[in-house]
Structure 1
Amino acid sequence: MVYVDDILLSGNNLSEITTVKDNLHSKFHIKNLGDLKYFLGFEIARSQAGICINKIKYCLELISKAGMLGCKPASTPADPSVKLHADDSIPLTDPSSYQRLIERLLYLTNMRSDIAFVVQQLSQFIYTPRQPHMQQAMRIIRYLKNAPGSGILYATDNSFRIHAYSDSDWATCATTRRSISGFCVFLGTALISWKSKKQTTVSKSSSKAEYRSLASITCELQWLQYLLKDLHIPCLTPYSVYYDNNSAIHIAKNPTFHERTKHIDIDFHITRQKLHDDLIKLLHVSSTNQVAGVFTKSLYPSPFNTITSKLNMHNIHVHLEGG
């Protein structure tokens, strides 16, 4: 992995890695920093249990720059009783402070999946932010103060079996009435991919919104299959996809529902095709156990904590934070 002048080498053959480093050094005079501990804001800790990746330094700097080191922590990153609108108050006199904060939070979401939904929501107001938007952004900072060292553990004894959760929330956006799609993918117990995204068009029915969400996770799993193949890593298929909408599952499995599916674009029938190809299998899960729900809506503390506990996030710095 190369980013400007930062280079990360990974592999299971130390002699090959040494050869690559020697060749690079002969051309560019690189500096060998040894085993990976810090890379582009990511902090890596190793033990016999596995590898834990977090962004505690980046997170603490973010809290400090926001002037919130002494604030009272929030239990969740978003208040589910608050609905954000594009024009519900006077615009901020200095939108640049809001824009910088959202940019930093967006970079943090590639490690902190628990704030992905609310950051996605706030990023749509980045050009004309208003006071309620800034207040919500500050709530995320207060939530991060709860556990700035939270990260993802990739266990040594992890299994190479992929399963995923997918969800959608119909017409969530109060401004555009577009739906939100969300998914998360696990390799064994390790979270390896997640997304919270507003759909590109308005869905006139909840079934269409649900089917768009299924198409999104199907494409992600297809890409992961290609990636694993390039890395020569065998992984059994079909991949299990857990969904909490029986209607969407039946539509995907049953090609005879013509009256209910004639309004769905051909593009989204990729889900049905990949079911036929045995890339995925759809399994029903209750809404209370739908892990992807945290990527599609704001939740109250109890369900939020229940779901985030299943994201396999660990805080190896908890003893330093008073926990």
Structure 2
Amino acid sequence: MLGGRLCDTPLELGQKLSEDQGGNPVDRRRYQRLVGKLIYLSHSRLDIATAVSMVSQFMHAPKSSHLEAVMRILRYSKVSPAKGLYFSKHGHLSVEAFTDADWVGSVTDKRSTSEYYTFVGGNLFTWRSKKQNVVTRSSAEAEFRAMA
């Protein structure tokens, strides 16, 4: 990866990964080791968290297209080594929370992903993303479930 080409984003714009995606099967153990290290890195690098969440769904049967997505995340991480969590003093301890959902974000099972972020004193404190338990019929319903 030292001499490889670099990229500006962890995933291609609008890229959707699925189990049915073409490509040859790859070494599962190698894929799991790479994604496991990226999961650990994503605890302090929110810019790759969504991309790592997407590629971690295929740990049981990865294909070459999934491995290409992992390699793209690694190339992006090489470009932006200084990105990560930064805590600064803002002089207040107000609590702010934000939530979002992507409607039918998963190509495989048509379920949406809910996300939330909590800030304390202007600094990111907690975050989470999770697939919703049911398939929603509209983006409004997906957003409502995310808030709930």
Residue 149 of structure 1 corresponds to: 82
CA contact (8 A) 2:46 2:84 kept: no
Residue 16 of structure 2 corresponds to: 83
CA contact (8 A) 2:26 2:62 kept: no
Shift of 1:128: 0.7
Residue 71 of structure 1 corresponds to: 4
CA contact (8 A) 1:120 1:197 kept: no
Mapped partners of 1:173, 1:213: distance in 2? 15
Residue of structure 1 aligned with 2:35, choices 102, 114, 134: 102
- With structure 1 as the length reference, what TM-score do the two structures score? 0.44
> What amino acid sits opposite 1:187 in the alignment?
V
Shift of 1:91: 4.2
- With structure 2 as the length reference, what TM-score do the two structures score? 0.91
Over the matched positions of the two proteins, sequence identity in percent amounts to 39
CA offsets, 1:97-128, max 9 Å, x none?
11111111111111111111111111111101
CA distance 1:188–1:170, change in 2 (3 Å): same
Shift of 1:185: 1.4
Equivalent residues, number? 148
CA distance 1:125–1:210, change in 2 (3 Å): same
**Relative contact order (alpha carbons < 8 A, sep ≥ 6): 1 or 2 greater?**
2
Q: CA RMSD for the aligned pairs?
A: 1.5
Secondary structure at the aligned position of 1:145 is classed as: helix
Shift of 1:73: 2.1
Which structure has the highest helix share of the two? 1
Shift of 1:70: 2.5
Residue 192 of structure 1 corresponds to: 125
Residue 134 of structure 1 corresponds to: 67
Matched, 1:163 2:96: yes
Secondary structure at the aligned position of 2:22 is classed as: coil
> What amino acid sits opposite 1:162 in the alignment?
V
Bigger radius of gyration, 1 or 2?
1
1:27-38 alignment runs, 5 A limit: none
CA contact (8 A) 2:6 2:75 kept: yes
Mapped partners of 2:27, 2:71: distance in 1? 15
Structure 1: gaps spanning 5 or more residues: 1-67, 216-323
Shift of 1:191: 0.9
Matched, 1:211 2:144: yes
